[in-house]
Structure 1
């Protein structure tokens, strides 16, 4: 029963964070969504921040191993870029509240937060770097610094989710259009990156 209640709370919190964001969500909203009273919610999770941190831990536990699996795989470099971008954007579409929380907490707590949540599954970029350097030597891509390429892949996937309110305000679009754009970016980003390094 206890595990079921906690799972229900986490599912409810995820829904509330998804619709209202971290700042707009209230513990009462989460309790209502879970069908429990606020006192019981506080018994399981003392604060909204603790609840959010647990959801973040679960999402990271799914995303990071998958990203590492892609980065360390035997896929060709171009296939790796396509797969990485597709997977990253898909995870952000399912959990759009994560990027802002991650940036905020990482800046507030410096390396402490990342070490706590990512220490054992920090991205391993050695194989990716070797692969990029090999492709440069073979002259199949332009001279490219591996870390710069990785930053381009990550930043182009994440930035729209960090800047969503600004993008929607400037373009006058709604959530449905934003989602459509992000679905399109699963192909747009890797094509753009590959075209920039292909000889």
Structure 2
């Protein structure tokens, strides 16, 4: 019985994650989530008591999941060129799958200002790698923090503004997805000589 409940609970969380972070419906109601999960609202309330509790659990797990994925790239024992390619690929793939998760994470960081110390340490290490790569001439010299901001802007902005871009460029979802996948190569070529 416990495994079945855990499976149902996980199914509800996965459905909520899709609704919140793939579809961008951050204000979806418990009824919206229950309907999408194919369960009744009473069952959803049994597991989570409220939409806010469900949202917080899903958001916490989403932040931890993205953090783990990104940390595995930042801390990988790879030459910088490969690490950079992997970072671009992983970040864009994750953001294509969950475009609104990044907006949520950014909003929460702006609201709380809380960045764990270990994340700051990892950032410092990555900035040192960038600086060392700049010394070789393979990356244009600049403040490594500027390089990081440029890199993440190139990766994230087109994905969180996809609705606007599709309208401006008159492309459908399939065409836009193809453009975003091609973007992985283009970004790498722009930032790495």
**TM-score using structure 1 length:** 0.81
Shift of 1:85: 0.5
Distance in 2 (CA, whole Å) between partners of 1:13 and 1:130 is: 38
Taking structure 1 as reference, are residues 53 and 154 closer, same or farther at Cα in structure 2, changes over 3 Å only?
A: farther
The answer (yes or no) to whether the contact 1:132–1:144 under 8 Å persists in 2 is no
Question: Aligned runs of 1:41-80 on 2, under 5 Å?
Answer: 41-80=44-83
Runs of 5+ consecutive residues of structure 1 not aligned to the other structure = none
The answer (yes or no) to whether the contact 1:12–1:33 under 8 Å persists in 2 is yes
Match of 1:159 in 2: 157
Stretch of structure 1 that moved more, 92-101 or 66-75: 66-75
Cα-to-partner distance string for 1:64-94 (whole Å, 9 max, x where unaligned): 1232232233322222221101000111122
Match of 1:126 in 2: 124
Taking structure 1 as reference, are residues 133 and 19 closer, same or farther at Cα in structure 2, changes over 3 Å only?
A: closer
Match of 2:36 in 1: 33
| Partner SS, residue 144 of structure 1 | coil
Stretch of structure 1 that moved more, 179-188 or 68-77: 68-77
Distance in 2 (CA, whole Å) between partners of 1:186 and 1:4 is: 35
Shift of 1:11: 2.0
Cα-to-partner distance string for 1:6-40 (whole Å, 9 max, x where unaligned): 11111222333356422463322211122221122
Taking structure 1 as reference, are residues 106 and 49 closer, same or farther at Cα in structure 2, changes over 3 Å only?
A: farther
Taking structure 1 as reference, are residues 44 and 120 closer, same or farther at Cα in structure 2, changes over 3 Å only?
A: farther
Alignment of 1:148 with 2:122, yes or no, is: no
State the aligned residue count: 189
Taking structure 1 as reference, are residues 180 and 51 closer, same or farther at Cα in structure 2, changes over 3 Å only?
A: farther
| Partner SS, residue 24 of structure 2 | helix
Cα-to-partner distance string for 1:142-196 (whole Å, 9 max, x where unaligned): 32321111112212111122212211221222222222222111212111111xx
The answer (yes or no) to whether the contact 1:128–1:146 under 8 Å persists in 2 is no
**CA-atom RMSD in angstroms:** 2.4
Distance in 1 (CA, whole Å) between partners of 2:108 and 2:131 is: 33
